[in-house]
């Protein structure tokens, strides 16, 4: 069945986004700030006890960051460049968390000079750098978690450490004059198994208890990371269900006296707010009787659809043509054979689809523009229009 806009957007929202896209050459990402604001309100209502640190990497458009600033949210940054962007909007360093565990000492120092006092870490070397360049700051230690099988975009292995090492790092943080403040984890982006938070929270509780009993260190914060769902083709539970379950897990482990709870949402806030509009460049078959129809469009892996790697993220796709449909292979416009978007997963598109027709890729507001190459094959980076 062909995707229809009403399955993803109300009529007004889609009309507003489409009207903006109609004025633009493709490819273009239209970000609807109203939808972003609604997503944010919804998340904050679902987790009324938590502090939101938006993962700037998901979509760093100024109009988006201003909404977060004005709602009193905080910011999770990955680099000094994201920090500069947030600070340029009048946000103080005290509303920023340096959430990347991989950072240069000179960037830690820079963040400290700008007022940042909250840092993530998962290794001794990084912790020593923080102690030297950001003395007295609060640190939270990121632990490894399970969940990579059920996350569409896993973040395992590269970040986090084992719980035993997390305990050692918290003790070391204290001994280095830092404030061991909390434990963080990220169960994987677009995590479809809510149970992934259960085991992670249980680990945090265990770490808190051991530190209290053995070292008299009072840990205060749990950072639940991102991983909350966007609306793609693969089904997820609604956000309310994530919130109910995660709140239950927290209460089971911590009782009614919850620690400070931090969320670092990116995808769940930004994705649904964006529709990427591309154009069909060419439709072809590889021989006269070829069964496979190739649809080449002017957005590809290097134009911003990096998350189609291994066909991990499957964006809902709408075209205005109808009639008989057939499975297609969808590929980008560059001279690189890695630039195939979907070959295993078969999108059905109308046989009448032809060059010049527009393709509307829903839920593409997160991790698209920031991934787009600046000049691959000469193509300019993906343009964003915020409405």
Ligand X SMILES: Cc1ncc(COP(=O)(O)O)c(C=O)c1O
Cα separation, 118 vs 132, in Å, equals 14
Residue 228 as a binder of ligand X (CB under 6 A): the answer is yes
Q: Which stretch binds ligand X (CB under 6 A): 167-175, 194-202, 226-234, 238-246?
A: 226-234
The sign one gets for the Cα dihedral 154, 156, 160, 163 is positive
Each residue of 327-345: b (16+ CB within 10 Å) or e?
ebbbbbbbeeeebbbbeee
Angle among Cα 175, 176, 178 to the nearest 5 degrees reads: 100
Q: Which of 80, 95, 186, 358 binds ligand X (CB under 6 A)?
A: 186
The distance of closest approach from Cβ of residue 26 to ligand X in the complex, given in angstroms and rounded to an integer, is 25
Residue 274 as a binder of ligand X (CB under 6 A): the answer is no
Q: Which residues contact 295 (CB under 8 A, 6 or more apart)?
A: 280, 282, 283, 328, 329, 330, 331, 349, 353
Interface with ligand X (CB under 6 A), residue total 16
The distance of closest approach from Cβ of residue 103 to ligand X in the complex, given in angstroms and rounded to an integer, is 12
Q: Is 170 a catalytic residue?
A: no
Which structure tokens are listed for 323?
């009639």
Each residue of 52-75: b (16+ CB within 10 Å) or e?
bbbbbbbbbbeebbebbbeeebbb
The distance of closest approach from Cβ of residue 76 to ligand X in the complex, given in angstroms and rounded to an integer, is 5
CA 376 to chain centre: 24
Select 155 or 295, whichever has its Cβ closest to ligand X: 155
Q: Which of 27, 60, 154, 225 binds ligand X (CB under 6 A)?
A: 225
Select 55 or 222, whichever has its Cβ closest to ligand X: 55
Cα separation, 360 vs 342, in Å, equals 15
Catalytic residue among 46, 161, 335, 386: 335
Q: Which of 32, 61, 264, 298 binds ligand X (CB under 6 A)?
A: 264
Binding mask 47-66 for ligand X (x = CB under 6 A): --------x--x--------
- 3-state class (DSSP) for residue 35: helix
Q: Which stretch binds ligand X (CB under 6 A): 16-24, 224-232, 305-313, 320-328?
A: 224-232
Q: Given the rule CB under 6 A, which residues bind ligand X?
A: 55, 58, 76, 99, 155, 186, 189, 225-228, 264-268
Catalytically active residues, by annotation: 335
């Amino acid at each position: 069945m062909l995707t229809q806009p009403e399955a993803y957007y109300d009529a007004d929202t889609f009309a507003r986004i489409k009207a903006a896209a109609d004025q633009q050459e493709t490819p273009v990402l239209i970000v609807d700030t109203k939808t972003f604001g609604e997503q944010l309100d919804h998340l904050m209502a679902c987790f009324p006890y938590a502090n939101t640190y938006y993962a700037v990497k998901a979509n760093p458009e100024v109009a988006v960051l201003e909404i977060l600033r004005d709602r009193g949210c905080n910011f999770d940054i990955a680099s000094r460049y994201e920090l500069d962007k947030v600070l340029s909007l009048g946000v103080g360093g005290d509303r920023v968390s340096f959430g990347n565990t991989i950072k240069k000492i000179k960037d830690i120092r820079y963040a400290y000079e700008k007022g940042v006092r909250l840092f993530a870490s998962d290794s001794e070397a990084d912790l020593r750098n923080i102690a030297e360049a950001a003395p007295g700051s609060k640190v939270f230690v990121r632990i490894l978690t399970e969940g990579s099988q059920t996350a569409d975009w896993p973040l395992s292995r590269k970040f986090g450490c084992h719980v035993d090492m997390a305990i050692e790092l918290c003790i070391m943080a204290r001994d280095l004059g830092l404030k061991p403040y909390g434990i963080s984890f990220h169960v994987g982006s677009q995590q479809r198994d809510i149970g992934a938070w259960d085991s992670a929270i249980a680990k945090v509780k265990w770490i808190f208890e051991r530190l209290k009993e053995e070292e008299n260190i009072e840990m205060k914060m749990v950072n639940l990371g991102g991983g909350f769902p966007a609306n793609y083709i693969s089904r997820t539970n609604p956000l309310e269900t994530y919130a109910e379950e995660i709140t239950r897990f927290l209460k089971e482990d911590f009782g009614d006296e919850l620690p400070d709870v931090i969320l670092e949402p990116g995808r769940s806030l930004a994705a649904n707010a964006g529709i990427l509009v591309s154009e069909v460049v060419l439709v072809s078959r590889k021989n006269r009787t070829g069964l496979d129809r190739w649809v080449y469009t002017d957005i590809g892996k290097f134009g911003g659809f990096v998350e189609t790697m291994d066909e991990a993220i499957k964006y809902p796709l709408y075209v205005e043509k109808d009639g008989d449909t057939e499975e297609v292979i969808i590929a980008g416009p560059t001279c690189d054979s890695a630039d195939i978007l979907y070959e295993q997963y078969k999108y059905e598109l109308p046989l009448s689809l032809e060059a010049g027709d527009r393709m509307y890729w829903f839920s593409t507001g997160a991790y698209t523009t920031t991934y787009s190459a600046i000049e691959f094959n000469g193509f300019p980076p993906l343009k964003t229009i915020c409405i």
